[in-house]
Amino acid sequence: MTSRRDLFIDLSVELTGYSRVQLLGTGMSERYLQALDEVLPDGMVDEFLATSAALPTMTIDAILRSETWGPVTRNIMILWYCGRWTALPDSWRAVHGTRPADSNHVISADSYQAGLQWVAAGAHPAGARQQGFGAWTVAPEEAAS
Amino acid sequence: MSEHRSDERANGIDDAQHDVVVVGAGIAGSLVAKRLTQAGFSVLVLEAGPATAAAFDDYSNHVQAFYAATSKGPESAWPPAAGVPQPDTADIRTGDGYFVQAGPLPYGSTYTRLQGGSTLHWLGVSLRMLPEDFQLQSSYGVGRDWPLDYWALEPFYGEAEHEIGVAADVVDQTHLGLEFAPGYDYPMHRIPPSYSDRLLAAAVDGMTVNLGEDQLALKVRNYPAARNSMPRGDYRPVGAVDQRRAGQGDGHGLARDLGQRCAGNTACTPICPIQAKYNAGKTLAQADGRTLQVVAQAVASKIQLDPVTGEVRGIEYQRYDDPASARHTVHVARGRVYVLAAHAIENAKLMLASGLGSASGMLGRNLMDHPSIYGWGLASHPVGPYRGPLSTSGIDDLRGGPFRARHAALRVDVGNDGWRAPTGAPDSTVTDAVANRGLFGTALREHLRSTLSRHVRFSLNVEQLPSRSNRVSIDPRYVDLLGNPRPVINYDIDEYTLAGMAAAKRVYQEVFRRAGIKDCTDPEQGVWFPSVAYQGDTLHYHGMGHFAGTHVMGNDPAQSVVDTDQRCWEHRNLFLVGSGSFPTMGTSNPTLTLAALALRTARHLAKELST
């Protein structure tokens, strides 16, 4: 049986455009799954992962259009790219309830540094993973490709 | 809550007489303390905030706090103690922070009340003021003249550049009438310009813009920065501060293998994780420890006068052990001379709270800033943002010239930090792509790759002239947890500066067009900043943290608070140092100039205390 984490990673590959190896390489997959458990009502994470396990017959487009799963799915993308959770919309909370962890916050110092946005930008997280004296004078890899 | 202690030894604080009592362990106070302890004088430094930036392990906790902070503003790494509140950028919108914003416009700047002061999160720009900046009234009929000219300060600029550790090449800086002592050069070679600086220079250098009747040619120039680079001659870059508590560490105040070069952390503000950027702790660590006593968590609350001589005979301060609590004890510090180096706002506030300095009517007045405009856009090709120091170059050609008779001068800071400051990117770019554009998967990744790599940001910093009605005052209705007054700020932006801001907006638009940068500036979609209406347009402005003018320097006691030595006219053993002494500020970031003034005052004091 596929583990919860594997289901989460499989879905996240589809959502982020980054490979399984790249996502595992952030070291954040367990922590992000835990964040989901903290925010969503009991049992809802597993329900969500089961829904996504129906891919590809279930499409990402359909998930994003879902009033229940759309806001959660968009938040997962922001989680991987920015390392932060965004409070779910009031309309979503009205239906599913509110947990204390459902607030705008950075998951941890590590998640901030692990954000995929820095990789996408061809850069490094501000204040971490310094590139070395003068590295900023060199053309970004983007310019060469 | 408070209790008076006559026997202060219980707290390890003696009531010995010192040669000098300094209030504030920021750059000005630290320079004075270093110079005067090295000259053999005993110096007591009272610092209102905690000393958590002094040991490197503690400093690293501030770095972690920044990583984990939801908002990454200038204050995010530096939360204040409960009894020592500080202004916060986030409070400008709500209007309910430390400052009482009495209008008509919000004052947009902030500072830090911790040991090390605002140098803990400054950008490090270390421009000298232009010779013409010192004679604005005589040259252009606006503002005030300084009682000193550029050449009176020039040797101290050189001294300050070596104390701070400024990286620049004189050959880049000699323009707009700026001259250097023969044979002089900065202690370190310039910080290498970024890849995007070089692309911009190739597109822009030589283009002209019109300011009034003046046609001015633009050039992208490297600016002097207080960040460690390759040393010149036998200069040794000063790395991270690591002052351990007794019994810890190796007894050295400075780490010997960290921060000797800028490593491109792209976080000068709010925190350089390796301290390759100068902070005042470096200077304090170089003071002579044999005659230096620093008491942190000690809030100066009242200046005591001798009723006969009018001289200061002590400074009351509130010492607290727990930064989370307002519980404190009250003590008195005594010295031969007293130096207030607590910040332009805090200096004026302490004087006002003590009922001093009112004779000229100028105390607290002439508060200035550099109200600044953001422009942001998309380059046609990747330019490599989000790398390197937050900025390495600027356009300085609009800092001086005859147009200043009509409107404010301005300086262009060219960012390496993409749209971070004006929009909260890259996070906001991700959110926009996911929430508004409906992107996911490889399309999302590709969109972010192609946009983030082309982000360009200008900040245009506009001169502001002194005005009597722009001021800090106090009001007994507004006090903090320790019972000290909160600053009440009256602030407006006059026609002279508004016209400069409008010109700044035009300039960045022309430069963007020339460089093929698509203008994406949309303040409604960006981070919230205050705004002001001008000629049918709405100008959104951000503060630069450049407070100045609250205890103006002059030759006439009826028109100024301090003399050219920054000595208070009314109380002759009291000195007020810092940018509060500036009659005008031009377009220079004030730190280097206030450092030069502090060194000049320290030299004067060393002489005076010896006699």
Assign B338 to helix, strand or coil: strand
Interface contact flag, A112 B67, Cβ < 8 Å? yes
Confidence category of residue B397, pLDDT binned at 50, 70, 90: very high
Over residues B380-389, the pLDDT tens digits come to 999 999 999 9
What number of other Cβ atoms are within 10 A of residue B208's Cβ? 11
- State the alpha helices, DSSP H only, in B124-254: 136-140, 150-164, 170-173, 195-204
Residue B16 and residue B8: Cα distance in Å, rounded?
Answer: 10
Sign of CA dihedral B500, B502, B507, B508: positive
Residues 22..51 of A with a Cβ closer than 8 Å to B: which? none
The letter for the amino acid at B236 is R
**CB of B428 closer than 8 Å to CB of B446:** no
Q: Which residues of chain A have pLDDT under 70?
A: 1, 56-58, 142-145
What pLDDT is recorded for position A73? 97
Inform me whether the pLDDT recorded for B7 exceeds 90: no
Interface contact flag, A133 B198, Cβ < 8 Å? no
Average pLDDT, chain B: 95
Residue B53 and residue B591: Cα distance in Å, rounded?
Answer: 19
pTM of the model: 0.96
Angle at B362 (CA atoms; ends B113, B601), nearest 5 degrees: 60
Sign of CA dihedral B139, B145, B147, B151: negative
What number of other Cβ atoms are within 10 A of residue B433's Cβ? 24
Instruction: Give the position of tokens 């040669």.
Output: B19
Tokens of B161: 């550049």
The letter for the amino acid at A144 is A
Inform me whether the pLDDT recorded for B5 exceeds 70: no
Residue B22 and residue B43: Cα distance in Å, rounded?
Answer: 7
What pLDDT is recorded for position B10? 39
What pLDDT is recorded for position B581? 98
Pairing of strands B214-217, B220-222: unpaired
Q: Does B392 touch chain A (CB under 8 A)?
A: yes
Q: Where are the domains of chain B?
A: 2-190+225-371+464-493+541-610
What number of other Cβ atoms are within 10 A of residue B509's Cβ? 16
Residues, chain A: 145
CATH code of the domain made up of B2-190+225-371+464-493+541-610: 3.50.50.60
Chain A positions touching B268 (Cβ under 8 A) are none
Residues 51..110 of A with a Cβ closer than 8 Å to B: which? 60, 64, 73-74, 77-78, 81-82, 84, 86, 104-106, 108-110
Assign B221 to helix, strand or coil: strand
Residue B379 and residue B455: Cα distance in Å, rounded?
Answer: 7
What pLDDT is recorded for position B252? 65
Closest CA to B193 of B232, B212, B219: B219
Q: What percent of chain B has pLDDT over 70?
A: 96
Confidence category of residue B250, pLDDT binned at 50, 70, 90: low
Q: Does B513 touch chain A (CB under 8 A)?
A: no
User: What are the strands, taking DSSP E only, across B108-261?
Assistant: 208-211, 214-217, 220-222
- Residue B23, exposed/middle/buried by CB under 10 A (0-12, 13-18, 19+)? buried
Indicate the DSSP class of residue B524.
T
Residue B69 and residue B267: Cα distance in Å, rounded?
Answer: 14
Residue B248 and residue B106: Cα distance in Å, rounded?
Answer: 45
Check residues B543 and B248 and name the one with the higher pLDDT.
B543
Instruction: Give the position of tokens 């010109």.
Output: B503
Torsion region of B490: left, alpha or beta (phi above 0 gives left; psi -120 to 50 gives alpha): beta
Answer whether the bond into residue B426 is a cis peptide, omega within 30°. yes
Inform me whether the pLDDT recorded for B6 exceeds 60: no
Q: Which residues pair with A117 in a beta bridge?
A: none
Over residues B327-375, the pLDDT tens digits come to 999 999 999 999 999 999 999 999 999 999 889 999 999 999 999 999 9
Tokens of B304: 């005591």
Confidence category of residue B245, pLDDT binned at 50, 70, 90: low
Over residues B519-578, the pLDDT tens digits come to 999 999 999 999 999 999 999 999 999 999 999 999 999 999 999 999 999 999 999 999
Q: What is the ipTM of this complex?
A: 0.97
Residues in contact with B495: Cβ distance below 8 Å, sequence separation at least 6, in sequence order: none
Over residues B291-333, the pLDDT tens digits come to 999 999 999 999 999 999 999 999 999 999 999 999 999 999 9
Residue B89 and residue B94: Cα distance in Å, rounded?
Answer: 10
Q: Identify the residue among B60, B61, B67 best suited for mutation to test binding to A, counting A beta carbons within 10 A and taking the highest.
A: B67
Give chain B's largest Cα–Cα span. 79
Q: Where are the domains of chain A?
A: 4-144
Q: Does B202 touch chain A (CB under 8 A)?
A: no
**CB of B74 closer than 8 Å to CB of B120:** no
